């Protein structure tokens, strides 16, 4: 996450803008993490339900296939989130800025 060491020396207006963007970046990245957790859980459950076999190569082949499948869906979901979140960015950042302006008393 971005961090500004000397923010206390900045103009209040600039710090407010920074805080607004930082807030939105944190929200965005937390949602990516949530998507990853959901897919990791689904992958875990799918791998756990693999049928046991004495053929290690077959087992590995099946595990690889399941993993690729889940990773493809995960990657698509992450990309889709970026597209949707990007389309809403202008409206959302204006809302966040207005909230921070009202909160700070500007």
Per-domain residue ranges for the chain?
A: 13-104
In angstroms, rounded to a whole number, what is the distance separating the alpha carbons of residues 71 and 79? 12
- pLDDT score, position 5: 87
In angstroms, rounded to a whole number, what is the distance separating the alpha carbons of residues 15 and 96? 13
- pLDDT score, position 31: 98
- pLDDT score, position 84: 95
How distant, in Å, are the alpha carbons of 58, 61, 97, 98, 106 from that of 103? 60, 56, 10, 8, 8
Q: How far is CA 6 from the centre of its chain?
A: 27
What pTM, to 2 d.p., does this model score?
Answer: 0.83
**With contact defined as beta carbons under 8 Å apart, do 2 and 22 qualify?**
yes
Length of the chain: 106
Residues of the chain with pLDDT under 70: none
């Amino acid at each position: 996450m971005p961090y500004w060491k000397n923010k206390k020396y900045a103009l209040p207006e600039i710090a407010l803008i920074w805080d607004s963007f930082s807030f939105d970046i944190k929200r965005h990245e937390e949602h990516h993490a949530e998507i990853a957790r959901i897919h990791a859980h689904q992958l875990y459950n799918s791998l756990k339900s693999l049928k046991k076999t004495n053929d290690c190569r077959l087992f590995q082949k099946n595990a690889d296939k399941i993993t690729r499948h889940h990773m493809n869906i995960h990657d698509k979901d992450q990309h889709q989130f970026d597209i949707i979140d990007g389309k809403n960015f202008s409206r959302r950042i204006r809302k966040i800025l207005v909230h921070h302006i009202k909160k700070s008393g500007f």
